Every structure is written in C-alpha cells, then in structure tokens.
Structure 1
C-alpha cells in the first residue's frame, strides 16, 4: 500500500461501487463527504441511526443476507431484489434470467469488468434455451 493511499470505510466503498455501476463517475472522497453531510455515516464510517431507520443499511451482518451478497458482488447492486432467490440446498443466492442476460451484456459491452468468455457462454446458452430471444 502506498503511503498516500486512503482507506475508506466499507459503506463508502459499497456506495462508490454502486454509483459507478449506475454510470455515476464520482470519487470516493466525494461519496465519503456526502455520506457524512447527509448524516448517513459518522466520521468513523459507521452507519447513523438515520441511515438504519431509512433502510439504507442493515443492522444485521447475516452472511446469507441478500444485502451482504450484493455488497460483496457490486456487479449485482443495480438489480432489484426481486430478481434474486436464496437456494437453501446450495446455501447461495441465484439471479433470474433477466439478470444473467443483462450482466453478461454489460460485461461484453465493457460497462463492467468480468469474464468475457463466461459472459459469451451464458448468452449462447440462453439463446439455445429460448430460441434466440436473448440476443
């Protein structure tokens, strides 16, 4: 780590990743300052009661929660929670076809970073399964 590199709180990192995924080009410093200004986090990066009350952050740190999954996988932050389902026997979250298709297209278009070969394979699989309607 460089001496001049700033380590931002996790909520700032998550918010920054979300904004970037939505096409908003903003620095982490601006995100941090605005989160403090609007009383979403305190000076130490902890969520305020206001942020908790408004449902912007969760008080739980349940590793199986969808919020934690999305925080760990910012690629999925833009998608509504209704597109995800918890598969108990696998102990993991899965996304529906809409998300699989859209994420794959975003990777291939270069809007997000990801495995382009895997994205192509997903789209080809969906095309074969649906008679071409996923192009």
Structure 2
C-alpha cells in the first residue's frame, strides 16, 4: 500500500514539473529578451545637459520576456544610470531605468536569467543636433 502512495506521488510530481508546476512566476522558455532592448534619450542642443550631472530624469520601464527567473540586473555605469532593483522575479518581471546625468553612447545594462542566459538593454543619452532644435521652433 505504501508503494502505491509513493508511486502516485511521484506521478503527480512529474506531471506538475513537466507543465511548469502551475506557479505564479514567469515560465522557462527558449526566448529571452527585454522590451525595449534599446533606449535613446536626447537633451536640448547647446545646453549643458551632457555635462556631468545634466540630462538627468529620463525614465523607462523595461519588461523581461521569457527566460527563467530570478533575473539579475547589472548596471555597468551606476554614476549615469539608475536601476530601481538588481533582481526581478514574478509573473510580470519589470524594472525601471533612470538617467542620472551626462551623455553616454551605447551603455549596456545586462540582464541574466537563472541559467545565465543574457539580454542587454542598450542606453544612449545624446545631445540633439542644433538643426533639429531649429526645425522644432
């Protein structure tokens, strides 16, 4: 009789494991990326926004799609980019990127899933061209 209980429990555990267990965390999938994967902010031309401390305040929410939680987020430039968290889990994994000042070209915020698969959010802050500002007036 105990043998039947043990084998029944193993069958149930195997069935749950094969379908993801029905939990409330993001599923394990082959696809793994962020949305958006690239963020570009512009500061006014001729302003001092690209100097240290200027150009701060741009914010974007980034959603992690696919992969296996927990997700670790690595900030390569903490003086220029702010993150609201360094680890994300749950059904809808989202984190916020904020500019802290200065211009930068193609700084990559690295997102790693449980299996160390990676996705990168490329952040760029640049000064708008003078002709763009003149056309806007």
Bigger relative CO (Cα 8 Å, ≥ 6 apart): 2
- What is the TM-score normalised by the length of structure 1? 0.19
With normalisation by structure 2, the TM-score equals 0.19
Larger Rg: 2
Greater strand proportion = 2
Structure (1/2) with the larger helix percentage? 1
